[in-house]
Amino acid sequence: MKTTEEIIGQTKRWVANVVAGCNFCPFVAKEIKQGTISYQVINNTVKEACLQAFLQECLILDEDNSIVTTLLIYPNAFEQFDDYLDLVAAAEALLEENDYDGIYQVASFHPQYVFGGAPVNDAANYTNRSIYPMLHILREAQIDAALERYPDPESIPGNNINFAREKGVQYMKMLRDTCL
């Protein structure tokens, strides 16, 4: 079993080598450099406890403005993508129920990520295929500010899809797997 430090180290490599390295998120390099990303490993496997950890992290973000974004890493839970999607939906509902709508947003990453309507073997899925199931909590104000300064933000998803497809499934899988 991997330690918390090992899991965080692997996740940091994935963020640096895949997310930043492939420029899937053109804003992450700044956050890596400034150390404003919080990495939290949640070892619990019970959905309700994992959601409680999610809500707790929102409370931490409320109090600590030095954290720009948080990755909640679930190394022992939500192995099946459908179970993970249920977690994402529940986390989004929690944001609304706790008046965090418009304050925080959830982005989703999973080792088996498949975009709706996409084939399982589409390399584009690797734009959201992580090494562990994760919930990414983003501050909406930070997103808005970053997008205002970025030329043509609407092109980001299409650029990511094109990049992944040009590299191909084998390359994208190898790049992700080297982070483990």
Q: How many domains does the chain have?
A: 1
Check residue 5 and give its pLDDT.
98
- Alpha-helical (H) ranges within the chain are 4-14, 28-34, 47-63, 81-97, 140-149, 155-167, 169-177
Task: Look at residue 158 in the predicted model and tell me its pLDDT.
Answer: 97
* Residues contacting residue 4 through CB under 8 Å, at least 6 positions apart: 41, 43
Average pLDDT over residues 29-46: 97
Predicted confidence (pLDDT) per residue in 133-167, tens digit: 999 999 999 999 999 999 999 999 999 999 999 99
Residue range 104-111: mean pLDDT, rounded: 98
Q: What is the dihedral of CA 57, 58, 62, 64, to 10 degrees?
A: 30
User: Domain limits at 160?
Assistant: 4-177
Show Cβ contacts of residue 127 under 8 Å, excluding neighbours closer than 6 positions. 22, 24, 157, 160, 161, 164
Q: What is the pLDDT of residues 41-65, one digit of tens each?
A: 999 999 999 999 999 999 999 999 9
Token pair recorded at residue 6: 């090992």
Q: Give residue-wise pLDDT tens across range 79-104.
A: 999 999 999 999 999 999 999 999 99
- Cα–Cα distance for residue pair 122/92, rounded to 1 Å: 26
